[in-house]
Amino acid sequence: MNDWTPETWLIAAGRNRTPGEPLNVAPVLASNFYLPDDRLYSRSDGTPTSDALEELLGGMENGKALSFASGMAAAAVILHRLPVGSSIAVPVDPYHGVAGIVNEGEAQGRWSVLRLDQADTPAWLDALQTCDLVWLETPENPLMTVADLPTICAAPRRDGTIVAVDSTFATSLNQQPLDLGADVVMHSATKFIGGHSDLLAGVLITRNDELLEEFRHRRLLYGATIGGMEAFLTIRGARTMALRMERAQQNAMELAMRLTGHPEISRVLYPGLPSHPTHAVAATFMTGFGAMMSFETTGAGERATDVCNRMELVNHATSLGGVETTMERRSVIPGQERIPPTLIRLSVGCEQVEDLWADFVQALTAS
């Protein structure tokens, strides 16, 4: 990353500074290229736009990046590399798409699955001795549990065991799993990296050249290469990620504190709050606590839905990580039935925090 800070790297990296070239990376909308050349076909070799994106995102973690058509495409490349008879350790309640792949493979008899409480560090240390893949998602969706990455990633492991970290909620601005000993980091770039709720994209970042080439080959086979326009939009969004995250994190901390004191809220889950069960762990290695939180309303689950429907500024929508604040009741999502019925996940955006708070007050009062 040269001597630039991450905030500067996001703005300056991945540009072609040749005189006469455009200042901003252009979308290359091509599937094939004139021969002879090393770049044959975009499904196998990407495009100049995806090259720039991979330089930009890989440099954020001092690794090498591969871009994908979605976060799930990136996750699938890691999971489907496992041969029959493998064993996987995953959080009890990972992202439902990842859970779907894991459950499908288990039902087919392809692998065995160990489901662990993400806060149970000793259990994860044991899993490193027996599992082929240790998959961490931290902070975890939607309970915001933070794994003890410094302890788990640096611990001794069985030869061949891969430690993968879904770092989507934290972003590379708030944690650096590769520095701590992880083998690969996954981001759903659909979220905070893109930042504008207008694209699907994913990325894997590693410092292991053998893994990188294996992932590249599987991306080719699965047809999971990112499109030229999506790569362009992801770069454009990433340029402002540091600015957006700074504002969103400030808003998130303020809202978390205010919601904690509201009589119609029974619980707030945000790693930045000292009351969060994994706050002390998070404070040891995270440089920021992110813009994601969950909270529970008083009353029944229908009350939580009513609160979502009554918001006028905050958007009642799925997904997360955009410049706008969004919220949704998670237990109504298929596969999320274990989530408390009154829990609402909140992705805090960049609006003025007093406007956001006024919206919460009116919705909670009227519901």
- Could you tell me how far CA 86 lies from the centroid of its own chain? 25
Q: What is the pLDDT of residue 62?
A: 97
Identify the three-state secondary structure at position 265.
strand
pLDDT over 70, % of the chain: 99
pLDDT per position as a tens digit, 82-104: 999 999 999 998 998 999 999 99
pLDDT per position as a tens digit, 6-36: 999 999 999 999 999 999 999 999 999 999 9
Residues β-bridged to residue 269: 294
3-state helix, strand, coil in the chain (%, to 5): 40, 15, 45
Q: Alpha helices, DSSP H only, in the chain?
A: 6-12, 42-45, 48-60, 71-79, 96-107, 121-127, 149-154, 177-180, 209-222, 228-238, 241-260, 279-285, 301-310, 353-366
Burial of 337 (0-12, 13-18, 19+ CB in 10 A): exposed
Average pLDDT over residues 182-211: 98
Average pLDDT over residues 232-253: 98
Buried b (16+ CB within 10 A) or exposed e, 102-111: beebeeeebb
Q: What is the pLDDT of residue 332?
A: 78
Average pLDDT over residues 344-359: 98
**309 has pLDDT over 80:** yes
How high does pLDDT run on average in the chain? 96
**333 has pLDDT over 80:** no
Q: Which residues are catalytic?
A: 43, 95, 166, 191
- The letter for the amino acid at 271 is P
Average pLDDT over residues 255-276: 97
Contact 161, 181 (CB under 8 A): no
172 token code pair: 């590379």
Q: What is the pLDDT of residue 109?
A: 96
pLDDT band, very low/low/confident/very high, at 135 (cuts 50, 70, 90): very high
Q: What is the pLDDT of residue 61?
A: 98
d(CA 15, CA 111): 43
Least reliable range by pLDDT among 1-10, 150-159, 295-304: 1-10
pLDDT per position as a tens digit, 167-181: 999 999 999 999 999
- The residue among 223, 233, 222 whose CA lies nearest residue 190 is 233
Cβ within 8 Å of residue 216, ≥6 positions away: 66
**347 has pLDDT over 60:** yes
Contact 188, 202 (CB under 8 A): yes
Q: What is the pLDDT of residue 339?
A: 86
pLDDT over 90, % of the chain: 95
Q: What is the pLDDT of residue 1?
A: 55
**342 has pLDDT over 60:** yes
